[in-house]
């Protein structure tokens, strides 16, 4: 979303599910979203665990560690749908293997007879990575290793943590890291320029480092430059 103040808002998101296919009855169990403004995380996040109203297959539990017993005390997607839709607004949505996540979110929205999220809003970082690193390993852990992003906390998949890591990966993939550093430097310089300097006299003045011999040598050099030399304007009168 582009505002009148030229601020770009983007949402990096990830999901966890009970399986691989919403058409086979699998459901969302976690959503994590990170807000970016001009490619900088704002700290404004959306994170919810969800009750899938079904069992948790062992294969899915091995991936994210979310059990049916843990999830049954959390809200249904219907209870958080409005909050989720308000949070993402009309911003571009960034995810890794994004159409997998989008398929599950749209399946939940469809159950509620709510408007689906259009594919045109999606930025798939897996596709970006394949274009930038053809033939390379482009899983999230592989990209973290490539860009030296610390993912040591990622012992299992988790929607919010994975979205946080992906936000860093996304900035690297699109080459925005240097631009952000430049923006930070400009902002710091502007902030410093707005501060009023406080000048305090030294209690003991510095001793002059130029000797009489230095001054004489400088005058002799300037004399060789001719009568119109600009340096003559800075010579003190004897």
96 has catalytic annotation: no
Output the CA torsion 101→106→107→113 (10° steps): 160
- Alpha carbon distances (Å) from 116 to 81, 93, 108, 120, 142: 12, 13, 9, 12, 31
**Distance (Å, rounded) from C-alpha 134 to C-alpha 223?**
67
* Catalytic annotation, pick one of 26, 74, 157, 218: 157
**Distance (Å, rounded) from C-alpha 10 to C-alpha 88?**
8
Contact 66, 58 (CB under 8 A): no
Write out the catalytic residue numbers: 157
């Amino acid at each position: 979303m582009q505002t009148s103040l030229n601020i770009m808002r983007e949402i990096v998101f990830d999901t966890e599910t009970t399986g691989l296919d919403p058409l086979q009855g699998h459901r969302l169990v976690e959503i994590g979203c990170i807000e970016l403004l001009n490619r900088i995380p704002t700290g404004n996040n959306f994170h919810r665990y969800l009750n899938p109203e079904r069992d948790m297959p062992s294969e899915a539990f091995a991936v994210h560690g979310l059990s049916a017993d843990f999830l049954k005390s959390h809200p249904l997607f219907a209870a958080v749908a409005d909050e989720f839709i308000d949070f993402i607004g009309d911003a571009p949505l960034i995810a890794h293997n994004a159409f997998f996540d989008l398929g599950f979110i749209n399946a939940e929205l469809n159950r509620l007879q709510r408007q689906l999220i259009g594919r045109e809003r999606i930025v798939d970082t897996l596709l970006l990575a394949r274009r930038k690193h053809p033939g390379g390993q482009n899983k999230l852990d592989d990209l973290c290793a490539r860009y030296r992003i610390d993912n040591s906390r990622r012992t299992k998949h988790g929607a919010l943590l994975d979205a946080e890591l992906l936000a860093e990966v996304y900035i690297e993939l699109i080459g925005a890291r240097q631009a952000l550093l430049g923006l930070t430097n400009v902002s710091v310089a502007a902030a410093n320029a707005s501060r009023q300097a406080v000048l305090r006299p030294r209690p003991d003045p510095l001793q002059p480092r130029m000797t009489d011999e230095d001054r004489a040598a400088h005058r002799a050099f300037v004399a060789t430059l001719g009568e119109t030399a600009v340096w003559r304007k800075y010579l003190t009168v004897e």
